[in-house]
Amino acid sequence: MNKMKFLRESIKNLKTVGTVTPSSRFLCQAMLKGIDFSKATLIVELGAGNGVLTRHILKKMRPDARLLTFEVQANFCELLRKIDDDRLVVIEDSAEYIADYLREFDREKADHIISAIPFVILPKDLAKSIVSTCSNHLAPDGRYAQVHYSTILKSMYEEVFPKVKINFTPLNIPPAFVFHCSN
């Protein structure tokens, strides 16, 4: 999907997509910075959109690892299913059900969770409940990486995760913040 199509899809579904351009290569790199892919066998991505970040994650993953990618928009899921990689599992469902899907893969916890869900525009309770579920289902050495376009939700992440570090990435439209969280 090119940038114009992403823009059209985003405008149609602004309440769930939360931005009008896909993440830049610089933002994708910033999201994955510091994540140790060498031992990870199961990674979760939330809010994959057109798959721009999905492709960066797959490039870094071990050949025997799996990526569970959650996306609620059917049109985006159609595009994600076109990514030709056996390690990718596209889940057309909301991130709030992450525990159920992990169980299907005989796992209680993901090694890492990488999210672009626009929690700022979701109901507050739902946002906090998804982030708390992610914390509960994150491996002890795991990283939770989240992109936002402001730091307005900083305190929510600090209530859930003992460690929260925020980095700024100017080379994106709009400029973005990456929250690196761990337990």
Positions touching ligand SAM (CB under 6 A) are 16-19, 22-23, 46-49, 52-53, 70-73, 76, 94-95, 116-118
CB-nearer residue toward ligand SAM: 70 or 177: 70
State which residue, 94 or 133, has the beta carbon closest to ligand SAM.
94
CA-closest candidate to residue 146, choices 137, 136, 89, 156: 156
Closest CB 74 distance from ligand SAM, rounded Å: 10
Give the span between the Cα atoms of 179 and 151, in whole angstroms: 9
- Of 42 and 113, nearer to ligand SAM (C-beta) is 113
Nearest to 95 by CA among 49, 133, 54: 133
59 vs 166: CA distance, rounded Å = 24
Of 39 and 110, the one with the shorter C-beta distance to ligand SAM is 110
Please list, residue by residue across 21-51, b when 16 or more beta carbons sit within 10 angstroms of its beta carbon and e when fewer do. ebbbeebbebbbeebeeeebebbbbbbbbbb
Q: How far does the chain reach from its first CA to its final CA, in angstroms?
A: 36
Please report how close the Cβ of residue 16 comes to ligand SAM at its closest, in angstroms: 4
Q: Write down the least CB distance from residue 84 to ligand SAM, Å.
A: 19
Output the smallest distance, CB 96 to ligand SAM, in A: 6
Is residue 17 within 8 A of residue 66, CB to CB? The reply is: no
Cβ distance to ligand SAM smaller for residue 39 or 103: 103
Shortest CB 56 distance to ligand SAM, Å: 9
